[in-house]
Amino acid sequence: MVQRESSKVEFKRECSDTIRRSVIAFANSDGGCIYVGIADDGEVYGVADVDVALSRIANTIRDSILPDVTLFTRCDPEIMDGKKVIRIDVQRGTARPYYWKEKGIRPEGVFVRQGASSVPASPAAILQMIGESGEGRYEDARSFNQDLTFTQTAAFFRKKGLAFGKAQMQTLHFIGNDCMYSNLAWMLSDQCVHSIKLAVFEGVAKSVFRDRRELSGSLLKQIEDAFEFIDRLNRTRSDFQGLDRVDSRDYPPEAIREGLLNLVVHRDYSFAAASLISLFEDRLEMISVGGLLPGIQLSDYSGPRKLAKAIRLKNFILSPTTDCLSPDRGVAVLAAIILGAPPSRRHLLLAAALGRGLTSHVSRLMAWTVGTFGIVGNDAVDTRD
């Protein structure tokens, strides 16, 4: 006979919809049992109509809790003190957080066990459960925010002549098998909380602002707006070769494009910090949030020459701006960091044409180096020799 409530036992005197709160809490914690027909003090009152109660409990669990938790629950009638009660066994679920359908994935809809009580989960606890159920892939995990709209992304698709409906969302993994929005959908929605901050400084130091802007909304829209902002400040200069005038930009648009793509694609979105773009008189810096891959130490890339050696080992080349897109070197510019020097002597530290065999891990590493070595001054590798 169960004597008292605990972290794994709860009593309900009557069958009611509040049972779902306890089921959610047990499924989000370490599992437990709910006894219907027993008061909080342990006195057995019984259930008048067991069949009706069992049907009501099953319907409540099935219809009001998401994701589906029925595989982790079992309801059985028992006899205690000569009276009929119902025992509900709840196992710890594998698709946490489980939540009350009407409330959504927020503290008022997600519950956990705290001692003998079922209490609302904190936002931090909810995010932790989402991360754990996502198997380490942030973009595949369920979004904390399920009230998403896609006005900007839909406009982007229309401009490209592409359809954007539920079928496309499922193909692109915006919607998971549980019919819930993923973090990828969140990042490309109008409600995306991650931003890109751009700043234009006077001179070569971060002391006097000339202009600043923060971009929000869908990451697709942010990339377009960031490119437009930089392109507007990307000056054109003219040189003469014989009788011909040759126009060139301070920064190759192709390099800016690839730098922006890597800034957005390879950052770690489990952190809330914004991506940063800084424009100076003599350089352009792009910095995103992230870390090193397992097994790699910062000391392995503690200087530009070590970095250059690592790049060459991966079939990268270091080249001056005018040769950063040599057609015989492969696919595209991976990353661009514009270093200090007069315009006529600016170079790309990382303007590299990639071979087809590049792995995603190398790509992530290179993206990290963009953020880490964005400010290298005159110690950069000189590739003009």
- As a whole number, mean pLDDT of residues 246-269 equals 86
d(C-alpha 190, C-alpha 148), whole Å? 7
According to the model, what pLDDT value does residue 258 have?
87
According to the model, what pLDDT value does residue 244 have?
86
According to the model, what pLDDT value does residue 293 have?
58
Q: Is the pLDDT of residue 241 over 90?
A: no
Compute φ and ψ for 369, nearest 5 degrees: -65, -30
According to the model, what pLDDT value does residue 301 have?
57
Considering only CA atoms, which of 284, 288, 297, 312 is closest in space to residue 376?
284
Torsion sign across C-alpha atoms 25, 30, 34, 40: negative
SS3 119: strand
Mean pLDDT estimate for the chain? 76
Judge contact between 10 and 22, C-beta under 8 A.
Answer: yes
SS3 302: coil
d(C-alpha 69, C-alpha 79), whole Å? 26
- As a whole number, mean pLDDT of residues 29-49 equals 92
d(C-alpha 303, C-alpha 299), whole Å? 8
According to the model, what pLDDT value does residue 242 have?
85
* Cα 254 off chain centre by: 26
According to the model, what pLDDT value does residue 246 have?
85
Q: Is the pLDDT of residue 68 over 60?
A: yes
Domains and CATH numbers, the chain: 9-122 (3.30.950.30), 138-187 (no CATH), 196-379 (3.30.565)
- For the stretch 180-228, pLDDT in tens is 898 899 999 999 989 999 999 998 888 888 999 999 999 999 999 999 9
Assigned token pair, 85: 């009660």
Torsion sign across C-alpha atoms 138, 141, 146, 152: positive
**232: which strand partners?**
none
Element (H, E) at 76: strand 73-80
Judge contact between 49 and 77, C-beta under 8 A.
Answer: no
**353: which strand partners?**
333
Give the list of residues 6+ apart from residue 150 with CB closer than 8 angstroms, or none.
164, 185, 188, 189, 190, 218
